[in-house]
C-alpha cells in the first residue's frame, strides 16, 4: 500500500513538473509572439550606400517613405518624383529612403558606387539610400519581410518602385504599388496625414 501511495505521489509530482514546464514554455512562446507583434519599423536598420548604417530608429518623429528602386527600369523616372517629395517635405519631417534592388528583372547595377553615381548624375538624388538589397523571398531584407507580414503578400513589392509609408511612431501605414507615382494625390495625402500625427 505504501508503495502504491509513493508511486501515486511520484506520478503527481512528475505531472506537476511537466505541467509547470508546459506553462513556462507557453508563457515564453506567448512573450516571443507578443514581442514580434510589438516590432515596428524603428527596429530595423540598413547599410548605407555612403557607408555606415541607416537606423530607422533615428527617424523617430518623422515619416519615412521606403522605396525599392532600380536604375534600369521603365519606372526609373520616378526618381524625379521621389526627389521632389524629399525637397518639398524634408523640412517638415519626411525621409525618403531608396533601397536599390535587382530582384525584378535584374535592373540594378551590381556595384553600389555605380548606383550612387547613376542616381546623382541623372536625377540629382540626395535623399538617403541603402546598399543594394533583396526585397522579396527568403533573402529579403528583414524590413521587407516584416512589412509583408504586417500588410499581407498582396501589399508586398511586385516590381521596382513599390512604396511603403512609415508613420512617425514606426507604424506601417500605407503601401503603394509601382504604378502609383510619388507625386500621386494618394501618396502626398498619406504623407501629409502621417506628418500631421507627428
Average pLDDT of span 192-197: 94
Say if CB 63 and CB 94 are below 8 A apart.
Answer: yes
Q: Measured between alpha carbons, how far apart are the two ends of the chain, in Å?
A: 73
Q: What's the CA gap between 135 and 68, in Å, rounded?
A: 7
Residue carrying the nine cell digits 507604424? 171
Q: 41-196 maps to which CATH number?
A: 3.40.30.10
* 118: CB partners within 8 A, 6+ apart: 71, 109
Average pLDDT of span 160-179: 98
Average pLDDT of span 10-37: 47
Residue carrying the nine cell digits 558606387? 113
Does residue 73 have an active-site annotation? yes
pLDDT for the residue 9? 58
Percent of the chain with pLDDT over 70: 80
CA dist list (Å): 16 to 25, 39, 70: 14, 34, 59
DSSP 75-90: TTTHHHHHHHHHHHHG
Task: Find the catalytic residue in 21, 25, 73, 119.
Answer: 73
Q: pLDDT band at residue 12, thresholds of 50, 70 and 90?
A: very low
The pLDDT tens digits for 135-145 are 999 999 999 99
Residue 32 vs residue 18, higher pLDDT: 18
Percent of the chain with pLDDT over 90: 79
Fill in the DSSP letter of residue 170.
S
Q: What's the CA gap between 46 and 53, in Å, rounded?
A: 6
pLDDT for the residue 24? 45
Q: What's the CA gap between 7 and 3, in Å, rounded?
A: 6
Average pLDDT of span 34-42: 67
pLDDT for the residue 181? 98
Q: pLDDT band at residue 197, thresholds of 50, 70 and 90?
A: confident
CA dist list (Å): 40 to 26, 46, 133, 142, 169: 24, 15, 20, 11, 8
When mean pLDDT is compared across 34-48, 89-103, 113-127, the lowest value belongs to 34-48
Helix axes 78-89, 185-196, angle to 10 degrees: 30
Amino acid at each position: 500500500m505504501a508503495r502504491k501511495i509513493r508511486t501515486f505521489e511520484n506520478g503527481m509530482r512528475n505531472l506537476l513538473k511537466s505541467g509547470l514546464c508546459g506553462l513556462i514554455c507557453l508563457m515564453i512562446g506567448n512573450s516571443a509572439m507578443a514581442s514580434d507583434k510589438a516590432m515596428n519599423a524603428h527596429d530595423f536598420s540598413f547599410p548605407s550606400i555612403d557607408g555606415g548604417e541607416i537606423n530607422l530608429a533615428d527617424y523617430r518623429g518623422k515619416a519615412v517613405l521606403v522605396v525599392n528602386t532600380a536604375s534600369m527600369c521603365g519606372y526609373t523616372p520616378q526618381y524625379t518624383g521621389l526627389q521632389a517629395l524629399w525637397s518639398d517635405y524634408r523640412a517638415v519631417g519626411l525621409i525618403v529612403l531608396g533601397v536599390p534592388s535587382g530582384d525584378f528583372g535584374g535592373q540594378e547595377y551590381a556595384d553600389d558606387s555605380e548606383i550612387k553615381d547613376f542616381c546623382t548624375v541623372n536625377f540629382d538624388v540626395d535623399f538617403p539610400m541603402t546598399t543594394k538589397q533583396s526585397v522579396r523571398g527568403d533573402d529579403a531584407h528583414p524590413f521587407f519581410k516584416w512589412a509583408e507580414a504586417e500588410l499581407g503578400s498582396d501589399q508586398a513589392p511586385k516590381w521596382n518602385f513599390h512604396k511603403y509609408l512609415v508613420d512617425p511612431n514606426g507604424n506601417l501605414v500605407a503601401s503603394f504599388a509601382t504604378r502609383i507615382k510619388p507625386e500621386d494625390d494618394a501618396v502626398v495625402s498619406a504623407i501629409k496625414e502621417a506628418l500631421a500625427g507627428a
